[in-house]
Amino acid sequence: MLSQPTMEDVARASGVSRSTVSRVFQHDGEKVSPDTLIAVHEAATRLGYVHNLVASGLAMRRGHQFGLLVRDATNPAYGHLLAETNRAVERAGRTLISVTASRHDYGTAEVAGLRRLLGQRVAGVLVGTGVTAAEDLVRTVTSVPLMIVGRPNAHPQIESVSYDERAHGRMVAEQIAALGHRRIVALTAPLLYSRVFDLRIRSLVERCGELGVATVPVDLLPVEQGVARALDAARAEGASCIACPVDYVALDLLRAAAERGVRIPEDVSTFGFDGLGDGLDLVGLATVRLPVAEVASRAVERMEELLASTQEDAEGPPSGHGGGQGDAALVEGPTTARHEMVAGRLVPGRSLSAPPEHLRG
């Protein structure tokens, strides 16, 4: 059985002394340059080293800053999450440092962003993106509490406060069925592109099947071609509605429909998810509004609870707890992390109505 990596292993891999690694993980990075901090964290990630946060009492010596990683703040969902998290952090008497990754990056920029946040000596990290796998987050963030915000999560080592995207997909499916739709087109995206999009559409398709509504899958990417394919499929398959995984795709669909002379909703209905863009009510887009303020507030509250708990444990671990293990005293994190989910609400709009008479069955 392979032994667990130690501080000495991390020191060799990063080209620094063991005392430097110790300062990174046990002394809040005191007298360590940001470049060295990043190099040490990168080496720890490659080796799978996880520092014993509780035993070191690191959380007690951290500052008052929280870090937030978001994906493409020009997207209203992430922009609102950034704003609401900042408000919640300020109410807690702390400050927020944020890093934004490209919406077209598939995880590399997100991991680099996490390392930049760790280099700023934040007390805790909030991750509000939908791309990087939970396993990669665990390997990257090893020295401070970590929490997922907004996106779906069930990892046993990462706490989360998330939007209930499964409930969102199902509530839209039920509205579609109630209006009389019997065949729809569903725009799908790869899991790697967005775990959120995938869960929304999968739960919608699953519930549609239970309600007797047939679904025709169509590839979303690239978006401009995807919405065109969706309109073609709706006409060819006799579908009366097109399911879009996010509002900006639904808006692109409305533009493409207008260029073709396809009437929404007289010829085909559509809807989106997020409900956060300005002017959606003027466009008349049916959508699901995410509970961003509630999720951000609860996530910050929970992070404070995690930090307080860590500090209490670090002040006096039970006799024999981790004793004699030295650098090999590693923690896997909580085995039963709390996963809270908050459902949003359906926002009616003229884009989603009863199907045309000839498509009712």
Residue 2: its pLDDT value, please?
A: 54
* CA 278 – CA 160 distance, rounded (Å): 28
Residue 86: its pLDDT value, please?
A: 95
* DSSP symbol at 325: -
* CA 43 – CA 253 distance, rounded (Å): 45
Token pair belonging to 175:
């509205």
Residue 324: its pLDDT value, please?
A: 34
pTM for this prediction: 0.76
Contact 254, 264 (CB under 8 A): yes
Residue 308: its pLDDT value, please?
A: 83
Residue 321: its pLDDT value, please?
A: 32
Residue 104: its pLDDT value, please?
A: 55
Residue 74: its pLDDT value, please?
A: 77
Per DSSP, the three-state class of 151 is coil
The phi-psi region of residue 218 (left if phi > 0; otherwise alpha if psi is between -120 and 50; otherwise beta) is beta
CATH fold match for the domains 7-163+292-342 and 165-289+345-359:
yes
The strand pair at 287-289 and 345-347 is best described as: antiparallel
* CA 200 – CA 332 distance, rounded (Å): 30
Put the strands of the sheet holding 241-243 in their side by side order: 214-219, 183-188, 241-243, 269-271
* CA 4 – CA 211 distance, rounded (Å): 51
Contact 286, 348 (CB under 8 A): yes
* DSSP symbol at 49: -
What are the extents of the domains in the chain? 7-163+292-342, 165-289+345-359
The parts of the chain modelled with pLDDT lower than 50 are: 1, 53-61, 314-334
The 10s digit of each residue's pLDDT in 58-104 is 444 456 889 999 887 778 999 999 999 999 999 999 999 998 876 55
Beta-bridge partners for 148: 127, 160
The enclosing H or E element of 140 equals: helix 134-140
Per DSSP, the three-state class of 311 is helix
The hierarchical CATH code for the domain 7-163+292-342 is 3.40.50.2300
| The length of the chain, given as a count of residues | 361
Residue 71: its pLDDT value, please?
A: 81
Class of domain 165-289+345-359 as given by CATH: alpha beta
The 10s digit of each residue's pLDDT in 107-161 is 577 788 888 888 878 889 999 986 777 888 888 777 788 899 998 888 898 999 9
